[in-house]
């Protein structure tokens, strides 16, 4: 009788190996994030005069963003592509970097979609949306017949 060395690690993955591969393996969840399919973290605040949306998007410039209003939604899009070329000895190495995201925010009824400003500073995109000024109820004099 001959003996064959057998290890269950290769043939039958453990639960922890399956989870590790799901998050970190090729095509896994975290590898997708590192390939540019991530969504930036967002803070939304409100004061008496305006709403403010802050998106954490470091390493970009203001030209990388497209902000628009479509019906009752504020849309923030970004696309950035970089190419690096390094020459060493007799070969050329090129590295591509591509990232994009799309965020959509429903505007409240009291948001003034005609008064929206944006500013990009130190890796944070700030979008300020003014509130509509509530109109005073109309006073009307009623004649007595």
Percent of the chain at pLDDT above 70? 65
Q: Based on the domain organization, do 67 and 121 belong to the same domain? A: yes
At 65 the three-state DSSP class reads strand
Phi, psi of 125 (to 5 degrees): -95, 120
31-53 pLDDT per residue, tens: 444 444 578 899 999 999 999 99
The mean pLDDT of 124-143, rounded to a whole number, is 90
Check residues 54 and 134 and name the one with the higher pLDDT.
54
| Domain count of the fold of the chain | 2
Q: How far apart are CA 114 and CA 132, in angstroms?
A: 10
- Can you give the pTM of this predicted structure? 0.61
Give the structural domain span for 28.
Answer: 8-37
My answer on whether 73 and 127 are in the same domain is yes
Q: Do 91 and 108 sit in the same domain of this protein?
A: yes
Q: 124 and 53 share a domain?
A: yes
Residue 93 inside a domain? The answer is yes
CA 64 – CA 97 distance, rounded (Å): 14
pLDDT digits (tens, 9 = 90+) for 95-117: 667 788 899 999 999 999 999 99
Q: Distance between CA 111 and CA 74 in Å, rounded?
A: 11
Residues 77 and 88 in one domain: yes
Higher per-residue pLDDT: 13 or 99: 99
């Amino acid at each position: 009788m001959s003996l064959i060395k057998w290890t269950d690690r290769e043939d039958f993955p453990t639960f922890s190996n399956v989870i590790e591969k799901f998050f970190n393996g090729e095509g896994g969840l975290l590898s997708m994030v590192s390939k540019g399919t991530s969504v930036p973290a967002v803070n939304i605040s409100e004061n008496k005069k305006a709403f403010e949306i802050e998106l954490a998007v470091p390493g970009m410039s203001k030209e990388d963003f497209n902000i628009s209003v479509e019906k009752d939604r504020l849309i923030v899009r970004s696309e950035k592509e970089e190419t690096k070329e390094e020459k060493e000895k007799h070969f050329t190495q090129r590295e591509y970097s591509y990232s994009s995201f799309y965020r959509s925010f429903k505007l409240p009824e009291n948001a003034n979609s005609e008064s929206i400003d944006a500013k990009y500073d130190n890796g944070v995109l700030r979008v300020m949306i003014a509130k509509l000024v509530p109109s005073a109820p109309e006073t009307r004099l009623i004649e007595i017949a």
